[in-house]
Amino acid sequence: MIDSLVFRQLYPKDIPQLRILCSESFPIEYPDSWYDFVTSGYFYSNAAFDQNQMVGVIIAENKSYKQIQAEDVSIIARHFKYNRVGYILTLGVAKAYRSLGLGSYLLSRTLENLEDQNCLCVYLHVLKANKKAIAFYENRNFRQHASFPYYYTIKGIPCEGSSYVIYMNGGYRDYPFIILLLKRFSLFIFICVQKIVTNICPNQRSRRRLKRFNCDSV
Ligand SMILES: CC(C)(COP(=O)(O)OP(=O)(O)OC[C@H]1O[C@@H](n2cnc3c(N)ncnc32)[C@H](O)[C@@H]1OP(=O)(O)O)[C@@H](O)C(=O)NCCC(=O)NCCS
């Protein structure tokens, strides 16, 4: 099925079709400025077309540490502040085209692209009630990072959202300082502990050797 689709980035002329796909896929209404912004060429985008009809889309951003929103900043360790991270704004597939592998294809191409651009992680936000999407991301190695009770407002009602993340290129989350220290020097700490333990209680082999030496000398 995927072989028969045409893939390309979004342009302003795609806004009417993008609106239809987004309204079919998401309970959130995006303002006009959002559509202008995501089709401006600033973002990474990949849209699938079946005979000129948009049937799937993914929009992502390659951003700097400084551009991460305050509530998400712990997604990557502080000492990576000169590195890049990826953020998925939108992934949607038209209902008639779901469960055919299109969502997986769009996601994996985007992850490859962001990994090639040296991003250390890729994260996204999802409605907590969207169990299907959460299972989809978890099955593709995304893990929950945090929950936000009032992240979305749908028809005037606040709804809980979660952030999900996948790490790449050696990236990892921000930990309390002591855990980071332990992580960094784990090999050194392991060797020190091993030496201390060997000194305090010499192992059985050396005890046996000592015993044999005593016997030999008798
Ligand atoms: C989440 C979403 C993008 C998934 O898209 P999709 O095209 O259905 O995704 P896929 O077809 O790749 O995978 C969906 C399931 O179909 C299965 N599948 C994939 N290819 C298949 C095939 N050829 N035949 C049968 N099943 C298949 C997959 O195994 C997958 O199940 P899994 O997660 O247990 O592995 C889509 O459901 C959607 O647009 N939902 C609404 C919008 C949304 O919630 N977006 C995410 C929040 S940003």
CATH number at residue 141: 3.40.630.30
Q: What is the pLDDT of residue 209?
A: 61
* pLDDT confidence of residue 174: 86
Q: What is the pLDDT of residue 217?
A: 45
Spell out the alpha helix ranges (H) of 11-61.
Answer: 15-25, 32-38
In ligand 1, the atom with minimum distance to the C-alpha of 139 is 33
**What is the predicted pLDDT for the residue at 73?**
95
- Between the alpha carbon of residue 81 and those of residues 24, 64, 126, 203, the distances in Å are 37, 8, 25, 45
pTM of the model: 0.84
Question: What pLDDT, on a 0 to 100 scale, did the predictor assign at position 199?
Answer: 85
Shared domain check, 191 and 100: no
β-pairing, 119-127 vs 53-64, is unpaired
Active-site positions read 87, 125
| Residue 189 and residue 171 share a domain | no
Q: Which of 2, 97, 99, 165 to mutate for ligand 1's pocket (most ligand atoms within 8 Å of CB)?
A: 99
Is residue 180, in this structure, part of any structural domain at all? Answer: no
Measure the CA angle with vertex 128, ends 126 and 129; round to 5°.
Answer: 115
Main-chain dihedrals φ then ψ at residue 120, nearest 5 degrees: -95, -15
What pLDDT does 155 receive? 85
- pLDDT at residue 182 in the model: 81
Domain range for 171: 2-175
Give pLDDT < 50 ranges for the chain.
217-218
Contact 85, 65 (CB under 8 A): yes
pLDDT at 218: 42
Ligand 1: which residues within 6 Å by Cβ?
A: 25-26, 90-93, 98-104, 126, 130, 132-133, 135-136, 139
Separation of 65 CA from ligand 1 center, angstroms?
30
Give the total number of structural domains in the chain.
2
